[in-house]
Structure 1
Amino acid sequence: MKNKKKYKILLLIVGCSILIALIYKVGPSIIYQQFIILKWKVLLLFFPFSLVFILDTLGWKYSFKVGNICFKDLFIIRLAGESVNSIIPSANFAGEPLKAYFLKRHNISMVDGMTSVVISKTMMVITQIIFVMIGILLFLYKLNISSTRLTGSIAIVLLGIPVIIFIIFIQKHGLFAFLLKLLRILRIRIRYIEEREVRLRELDENIYQFYCHNKKKAFYSFVCFFMGWLAGLLEVFLIFYLLNIPVDTVSAYVIESLSTVAKGITSFIPGSVGGQEGGIIAIFTSLKFGAGVALTFGILRRFREVIWTGIGLFVLSKLEWAIAGLPTNE
């Protein structure tokens, strides 16, 4: 446990060092000038992401087979869970069990709660893959590469389709049963998982039943999450508008979609500090935007993330106090 904490701290230090190095290389004065242009307008950045969060929460709401939990409660619980996802390097999975845990306040069992969490996360991942695939294709179009290289690149991009099919197939045939079988094949025994095999198989059955009998809800969830990714473009347009820099729709789409890849790849660093900004600079320079604009964009997005995470952690503390003392209902 201590070694893990040291590892996380080391990664955070490395990430912060990368961020400081990037700021030094770009030039603090250039970034400062960009912020002088913004002033109080930076507060407008909370509106686009609010829409993203609302759409993602709706996507989660449609992931419930049963239960009439209201949107406001889901929004609050998701805010708490996502704050954990943003600070713990776990590829955005650490906060998911917490969401199911807090649903117990609303008479939803852990199994039903986890079912909704797994389904919503699956829809989010599938829509992100599609969103990024389109972004890569637009990026290749923007770079105007030769037809031969374009054909090969498109073939690589389309590999995302088998990944989506595999995710759906595994879920419909038992995700956790598959993981248990894989662990046993590899002769890896995790006592915590072994003791909960019955509950995990029940979870698999719930997920299977959802896909069989709630196809309309699954479709609505898919649409909401995909619209959530598209809504992220509003933040890109807003930042460029506030900086008085013109940007076309294709470039905005490429920036938003590939930025999510940069954040995902560096998710092993707490908060993706440094890695996310480095990825944004690489994307911007490829699109012929300046490194100063890229880092300003990254810092503005980081500012928004920090505030939302802070609000989420505050909500998390309130939820923990509220749920303390409730009987376990699994």
Structure 2
Amino acid sequence: MDKKTVFFLGVSLVILAVMLYLVGIDQVIAALKIAKLEFIAIAIAMQVFTYYLYTLRWKILNNLVDIDVGIKKLLPMVLVGLAVNNITPSGRGGGEPVRAYLLSREENYPMEETFATVVADRALDTFPFVVLAVLTIIGMTLTFNFDLWLLILMVVAVIAIVIILILIIYMSINPNFGARVDGWIIGLVRRFYKKNSDELEEKIHGVIRGFQDTMKMVISNKNVLYYALPLSFVIWIFEILRVYFVFLAFGASVSPVIIGEVFILASLAGMIPLLPGGLGAVDGIMIIFYSAAGITASISAAATVIERLISFWMATILGLVILPYYGSSVLDKISLGSSDEIEEHSENEE
């Protein structure tokens, strides 16, 4: 973990500590003391099952392109990817190149194929998120008294996500547009890399062609529509139900609709690239809006602390514990933060 990431984690934890102080740490501790452990245990079990569902969806996509790797091998990679997403201020995208790199290195598959399945996996996660985000913006506009700037910010964020998703899909099915993207990337290469540019350009051509071919296979396969996409909606349902059980642990009966709205809003805040995993921003938004929904501030803060321990810190700790198994070189590649650099370094190792 580099110094920059440690700094951001420290700042985010300080922000969370200040929020808890404003709510009243003694009140939060009192609320934690009355929590029913059986409901918290259910929430933890649901989160563990969600890890399995993440892995199952990725396995389905891998099988479509003849990457035959079992869940036992994929699950640790998923956890490492989640941990990297949480500890890097990268807009929750730093773990995907690392996950693709691990699968490529450990199982000897081409990087462009493993990266394409990871991108497809992330895109499938985006579909239900966009649907729920649109419903959330509509619902919360009616439920809460939003400032206009916040409403505009949420709408812009959702539109940006949709545009990126459309561009990735369009690039995969339209050769001409893919060629334009290829040319744009080559232009950047020629601008910043003067040495051995011909070799690097040929490598980029090969990666983009392999990525397009793999994405075409994934998108056109009916199993994506029948299995992987519905599984994405199931995953989001489990995410919301987990929060519901956390509130039940504190004796607070909160509408799953309200939980879903706040959860999606907090997820949008978690995409802010300045904060690892949205620490501070996510916690603060959850506390503020749960309180606005009629839950006492102490219960809102206590439930948020438990929820983030389960959803954020559990994945982070598990992933970081597993990470040394893949070697110290992976730690170096995390700090690179670029799929191109990861691939280049993996080839150098070979």
Band the TM-score falls in, shorter-chain normalisation: 0.7 to 0.9
Distance 1:111 1:162 in 2: 23
Q: Could you say if the C-alpha distance between residues 172 and 290 of structure 1 is closer, same or farther in structure 2, counting changes exceeding 3 Å?
A: farther
Deviation at 1:141, TM superposition (A): 4.1
Gaps of 5+ in 1: 146-151
Deviation of the 1:243 alpha carbon: 0.4
Shift of 1:279: 1.5
Q: Which residue of 1 aligns with 2:337?
A: none
> Within 5 A, what are the aligned runs for 1:230-245?
230-245=237-252
Give the match for residue 294 of structure 1. 300
Amino acid at match of 2:61: S
Q: Which amino acid aligns with 1:142?
A: T
Aligned to 2:149: none
Q: 1:116-195 to 2 correspondence within 5 Å?
A: 116-143=117-144, 159=159, 163=163, 164-173=165-174, 179-182=181-184, 189-191=191-193, 194=201
Please show how residues 21-32 of structure 1 align to structure 2 within 5 Å: 21-32=18-29
Residue pair 2:84, 2:95 contacting (<8 A) in 1 also: yes
Q: Which residue number in structure 2 is paired with residue 76 of structure 1?
A: 76
Letter of the 2:295 counterpart: F
User: Does structure 1 residue 50 correspond to structure 2 residue 48?
Assistant: yes
Change (3 A) 1:216 1:235: same
- Taking the aligned partners of 1:154 and 1:27, their CA distance within structure 2 comes to 29
Secondary structure (helix, strand or coil) at the match of 1:134 reads helix
Q: From 214, 225, 230, give the equivalent of 1:223.
A: 230
1:279 matched to which residue of 2? 285
Q: Report deviation, 1:22.
A: 0.6
Residue 226 of structure 1: how far off its partner (Å):
2.0
Instruction: Give the whole-Å Cα distance in 2 for the aligned partners of 1:154 and 1:5.
Output: 31
For 2:282 and 2:48, the matched residues in 1 are separated by 21
The number of equivalent residue pairs is: 318
State the alpha-carbon separation in 2 of the partners of residues 181 and 196 from structure 1.
Answer: 13
TM-score normalised by the chain length of structure 2: 0.77
Deviates more, 1:233-242 or 1:299-308: 299-308
Q: What's the secondary structure of 2:295's corresponding residue?
A: coil
Q: Find the aligned partners of 1:123 and 1:143 in 2 and give their Cα distance.
A: 29
The aligned amino acid for 2:78 is: R
Cα drift, residue 157 of structure 1: 9.7
CA distance in 2, matches of 1:154, 1:29: 34
Partner amino acid, structure 2, of 1:34 = A
Aligned residue for 2:94?
94
In structure 2, runs of 5+ residues without a counterpart are 147-151, 331-345
Equivalence for 1:210:
217
> What residue in structure 1 maps to residue 343 of structure 2?
none
Identity within the alignment, %: 22
Change (3 A) 1:226 1:167: farther
Deviation (angstroms), 1:63: 1.7
What is the RMSD of the two structures over their aligned residues, measured on CA atoms?
3.6
- In structure 2, relative to structure 1, the CA distance for the partners of 1:279 and 1:172 (3 Å cut) is farther
Structure 1 position 111, deviation (Å): 2.1
SS in 1 for 2:191: coil
Counterpart in the other structure of 2:59: 61
Moved more, 7-16 or 89-98: 7-16
